Amino acid sequence: MAMYTLMRLPRSFARRSVSLRFGWCVASILLVPIWGGCARMETVPDAKPSDLQVTVDQLKIAVRDAQRTAADLRAELDGQRQQLAEVELERARLQGMLRETERRLTEARQIIELQREELASARTERERMAHALRSLPAKPRQASTGALPQAHSTHPESIPRTITIQAGDTLWDLSRRHNVSMETLRVLNGLRDSRLLTGRKLRLPDPPSSESTTVPAVAQ
């Protein structure tokens, strides 16, 4: 009976029921994303103070590490600068030693050249003295009473010459000043080297004298 009653409902009611069901379906479909979005927004956890503290501590550690690294780099840079300064000082010292060595080598070369000249001059003077000794006449024998008296020199006996060494004098200067070779000065004064003592007296060789003039006696 009920079935029959339903079957006899007007068609407009049936259409209204279908429309309501369709509307509810559309509404449910539209509301599902909104509810899902709200659910997702609610599931995002809030930042906790402990997490923020951990982040701050990590930043502090990173800053300390960076400061430590910068300090190490500055220390290394200072060390390299110190080493560079030491290298510069050592180079300057070596350059000074090199200049001093070159100066001494130059002086040594000059001394060697002077010694060669002195040696050649000494040899020449020795040969001249030897030739002068060979050319001296033999001493005449004592003649009889009526013979001529012994010849005498018109020049007085030569007095040995000496000089006193002054401050700053060198053997080279004295040899050039008095026209005497250094070898002669060494031999006359018993010098082993060219070092001189201020205030000491040096003997100079006698100057070459002219031949003695003899005065003959009148025969009786």
pLDDT digits (tens, 9 = 90+) for 102-142: 999 998 998 898 888 888 888 888 888 888 877 776 555 55
pLDDT digits (tens, 9 = 90+) for 30-50: 555 555 544 444 444 555 667
Residues 43 and 32: their CA atoms lie apart, in Å, by 16
Number of neighbouring beta carbons within 10 Å of residue 135: 7
Helix axes 49-135, 182-189, angle to 10 degrees: 80
pLDDT tens digits, residue range 133-183?
777 765 555 544 444 444 444 444 445 578 888 888 888 888 888 888 888
* DSSP, res 140: P
What is the pairing mode between strands 201-204 and 161-164? antiparallel
Cα 168-174-176 angle, rounded to 5 deg: 125
Enter the tokens of residue 83: 């080493």
Phi-psi region of 83 (alpha: psi -120 to 50; beta: other; left: phi over 0): alpha
Half-sphere exposure of 130 (CA within 13 A, CB side): 6
DSSP secondary structure code for residue 163 in this structure: E
